[in-house]
């Protein structure tokens, strides 16, 4: 079996699925060092023996998925279209009605508009349909051993072991995405530790099977990301023919009145809102693609996922829930 493990690692390297800086250490030796570090971090031998029992080699498919993330390979138009469908909009409206009581409580406590919580749910997992079926520990061990973001995923792996140690979820049920993201909102283990809450009061923080826990945890995450519940996320806009593109980018903030004076208009040609707000202009697909004025909440969404495409998709889906009269 050890020879098979080494062969798999060689195949991954030969296929170009690694990058400069990949671990030179043998995986078995690396795993032993992980055990030492985990024990020092307070993980029991019992938890380690159970969690690492079946891990013998990195998974090439996980590394391949890491290299081909859709946020980096799809245009904004394609990315949004795949996630803001008529079916997803309709189901989002259903979820807003179905969980209205819980969303009332959560919105009041965390001061995050419910439509954004539900849009994150829809965008991350299609309302819980696609939460991932891969063993989280295996995925994180693979990515922690891989050289591209090993420090980041090693930290996530240790946090995942803490979740098991604390008894929040049995090992057999700890399934997630190729990246180790868990539950309907695809929380990484560090996000679980920092933001997950027990909303239903059963003594467990269950982001896999408790919808109240999942909804409240998502709201808590955005609240800690400095969400402003008196604002939206942004809007699609039109630019004048002669526009200074040096003004674009998230680091450039101008007042709405200033953008108005520069000739920027809503996508329907109407004037921008008359509010004392700062906004940035972004062009996710370059000058030939759509233009968006985005507010502070857009940056909060990017703390969840550092992708303009992701944040635009969540904002667009949240806007779509409004029933047209």
The dihedral through the CA atoms of 44, 47, 51, 53 has a sign that is positive
* CA 143 vs CA 73, 205, 242: distances in Å: 20, 25, 46
* CA 118 vs CA 78, 201, 235: distances in Å: 21, 21, 19
| Beta carbons of 28 and 5 less than 8 angstroms apart | yes
Residue keyed to tokens 């630019």: 239
| Beta carbons of 317 and 84 less than 8 angstroms apart | yes
Catalytic residue, from 107, 124, 156, 159: name it: 124
- Residue 48 CB: number of other CB atoms within 10 A? 18
Backbone phi, psi, residue 57, to 5°:
-160, 155
Q: 250: helix, coil or strand?
A: coil
* Rounded CA separation 67/146 (Å): 11
DSSP E strand boundaries for the chain = 134-135, 175-176, 234-238, 254-255, 265-266, 278-282, 291-294
- Is 124 among the residues known to form the active site? yes
Tell me the pairing of strands 254-255 and 265-266.
unpaired
Q: What is the DSSP letter of 235?
A: E
* Rounded CA separation 107/11 (Å): 50
Contacts of 129 (CB under 8 A, 6+ apart): none
Is residue 47 left, alpha or beta, with left meaning phi > 0 and alpha meaning psi from -120 to 50? alpha
Q: 123: helix, coil or strand?
A: helix
Q: 152: helix, coil or strand?
A: helix
Active site residues: 124
């Amino acid at each position: 079996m050890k020879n098979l493990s080494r062969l798999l690692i060689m195949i991954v390297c030969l296929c170009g699925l690694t990058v400069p800086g990949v671990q030179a250490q043998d995986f078995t030796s690396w795993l032993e060092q992980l055990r030492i570090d985990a024990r020092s971090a307070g993980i029991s031998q019992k938890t380690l023996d159970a969690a690492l029992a079946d891990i013998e080699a990195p998974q090439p498919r996980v590394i391949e998925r890491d290299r081909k993330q859709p946020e980096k390979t799809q245009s904004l138009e394609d990315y949004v279209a795949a996630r803001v469908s008529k079916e997803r909009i309709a189901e989002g409206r259903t979820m807003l009605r179905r969980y209205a009581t819980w969303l009332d409580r959560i919105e009041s406590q965390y001061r995050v508009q419910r439509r954004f919580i539900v849009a994150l749910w829809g965008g991350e997992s299609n309302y819980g349909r696609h939460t991932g079926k891969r063993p989280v520990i295996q995925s994180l061990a693979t990515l922690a051993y891989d050289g591209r973001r090993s420090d980041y995923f090693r930290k996530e792996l240790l946090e995942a072991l803490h979740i098991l140690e604390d008894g929040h979820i049995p090992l057999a049920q700890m399934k997630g995405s190729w990246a180790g993201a868990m539950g309907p909102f695809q929380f990484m283990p560090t996000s679980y530790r920092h933001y997950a809450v027990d909303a239903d009061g059963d003594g467990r923080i269950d982001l896999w099977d408790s919808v109240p826990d999942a909804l409240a945890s998502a709201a808590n995450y955005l609240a800690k990301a400095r969400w402003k519940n008196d604002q939206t996320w942004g809007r699609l806009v039109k630019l004048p023919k002669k526009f200074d593109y040096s003004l674009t980018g998230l680091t450039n903030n101008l007042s709405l009145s200033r953008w108005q004076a520069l000739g920027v208009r809503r996508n329907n040609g109407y004037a921008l809102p008359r509010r004392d707000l700062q906004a940035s202009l972004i062009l996710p697909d370059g000058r030939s693609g759509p233009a968006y004025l985005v507010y502070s909440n857009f940056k909060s969404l990017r703390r969840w996922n550092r992708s303009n495409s992701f944040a635009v998709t969540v904002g667009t889906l949240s806007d779509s829930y409004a029933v047209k009269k």
